[in-house]
A and B are shown apart, each in its own frame.
Chain A
Amino acid sequence: MEKSVNSNKILFFGITKDITGLSELYLNLEGKSIATFKEELTLKFPKLKLLSSLNIALNHEYVPLDLIISLGDEIALIPPVSGG
């Protein structure tokens, strides 16, 4: 899907970039919950299940799994962080 206002930008970081081979992806996720998005993505990339944790950020914030995604929201995969 092309980058447009009719899609969601999904960003991949750290090990999730290696697992999926993607650094970004555009999909229409309107109306889906964070949990559903995560489930569908894990079906497509089963190796994501091996991570000790995988948080999803929405518009630069950690959000609960039951949050519903709106068009234009920016989504990011946050594997275990290791800064510092």
Chain B
Amino acid sequence: MKNLVQLVDSIDLDSVISFVSNTSCGAVSIFLGTVRSHTKEKAVKKLLFEGYAPMAIKQMELIIAESNELYGIEKMAIQHVLGEKYVGEQVVAIAASAPHRQNAMDACTFAIDTLKKRVPIWKKEFFDDGAIWVSSHP
């Protein structure tokens, strides 16, 4: 099972899609995460992503292996950014290819849900009146 796992400065959606594309597959499903302008009605200025790179890569590789076991996909690619990102910018891209669409779509859903629970990447949200680490702030 070939895969592509990268921590990047900017998402390169074309490379993610071309990596998973395969003539034996009739479906490529893509999840693209972007920076939202508001959190609970507060205007977001920017986000800062920090990661524990070697462990994040390992966990993302594990997610691809599990996605394959569960959904029998052909290929999967995951790219996640680190660093500062502004409203509207792309922060995570996941693509999966499979002979049929349902498996590709289910694998994408599983991969992003699991990434959010397990991959050691942290997001700090900056507002006009301060900043918080998302999910961590006591």
User: A residues within 8 Å of B by Cβ?
Assistant: 11, 13-15, 18, 47, 50-52, 57, 60-62, 76, 78-84
| Bound Cα distance from A78 to B50, whole angstroms | 12
Q: Contact between B49 and A83 (Cβ–Cβ < 8 Å)?
A: yes
B11 to chain A, nearest CB (A): 12
Query: Which one of B17-25, B102-110, B111-119 is at the interface?
Result: B111-119
User: B residues within 8 Å of A by Cβ?
Assistant: 33, 49-52, 54-56, 58, 80, 91-92, 112, 115-124, 133-138
17 more contacts with CB within 8 A, not counting A83-B80, A84-B115, are A11-B52, A13-B52, A13-B122, A14-B122, A15-B133, A18-B133, A60-B55, A60-B58, A61-B58, A76-B55, A76-B120, A80-B135, A81-B117, A81-B119, A81-B122, A83-B120, A84-B92
Interface of B is mostly: mixed
B90 to chain A, nearest CB (A): 12
Contacts of B50 on A, CB cut-off 8 Å? 13-14
Q: Contact between B138 and A83 (Cβ–Cβ < 8 Å)?
A: no
| Bound Cα distance from A57 to B136, whole angstroms | 17
| Bound Cα distance from A79 to B56, whole angstroms | 14
Q: Contact between B115 and A60 (Cβ–Cβ < 8 Å)?
A: no
| Bound Cα distance from A61 to B49, whole angstroms | 20
| Bound Cα distance from A80 to B56, whole angstroms | 14
Contacts of B118 on A, CB cut-off 8 Å? 62, 81
Q: Contact between A13 and B116 (Cβ–Cβ < 8 Å)?
A: no
Q: Contact between B133 and A81 (Cβ–Cβ < 8 Å)?
A: no
Q: What are 30 pairs between A and B in contact, CB < 8 Å?
A: A13-B51, A13-B52, A14-B136, A15-B136, A15-B137, A50-B138, A52-B138, A57-B55, A60-B52, A60-B54, A60-B58, A62-B118, A78-B52, A79-B136, A80-B135, A81-B116, A81-B122, A81-B135, A82-B116, A82-B121, A82-B133, A83-B51, A83-B56, A83-B80, A83-B116, A84-B80, A84-B92, A84-B115, A84-B116, A84-B121
